[in-house]
């Protein structure tokens, strides 16, 4: 199953941690929606939208602040850098699956 294998590879740096089996089990227990965002400052902006890793430290209005309770049941992941994003994107997508999109508002924003 691609989702389970991608999930394991995604979190492989945590494989020696005692919570790894529970993390993989939880992250593989339901649908996973993967996406790639692009834009100016997208990693920083995305992380603000997600909230803190520990939902208890997240502000209301963030995804984790509004929809998470426990750090062990975190419902969303966001890359912490462009390098991490590129590595993680390659775990979930083939190059030909990525589509570039230019919004009609692009020229007004940039």
Between CA 26 and CA 49 the distance in angstroms is: 22
State the CB neighbour count (10 A cutoff) for residue 6: 18
- With tokens 């995604």, the residue in question is 10
List, by residue number, the catalytic residues. 77
What three-state secondary structure class fits 32?
coil
């Amino acid at each position: 199953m691609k989702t389970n294998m991608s999930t394991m590879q995604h979190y492989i740096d945590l494989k020696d941690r005692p919570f790894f089996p529970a993390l993989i089990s939880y992250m593989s227990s339901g649908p996973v929606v993967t996406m790639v965002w692009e834009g100016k400052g997208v990693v920083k902006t995305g992380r603000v939208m997600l909230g803190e890793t520990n939902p208890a430290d997240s502000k209301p209005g963030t995804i984790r602040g509004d929809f998470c309770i426990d750090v062990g049941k975190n419902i969303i992941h966001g890359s912490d850098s462009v390098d991490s994003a590129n590595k993680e994107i390659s775990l979930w997508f083939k190059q030909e699956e990525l589509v570039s999109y230019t919004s009609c508002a692009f020229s007004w924003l940039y």
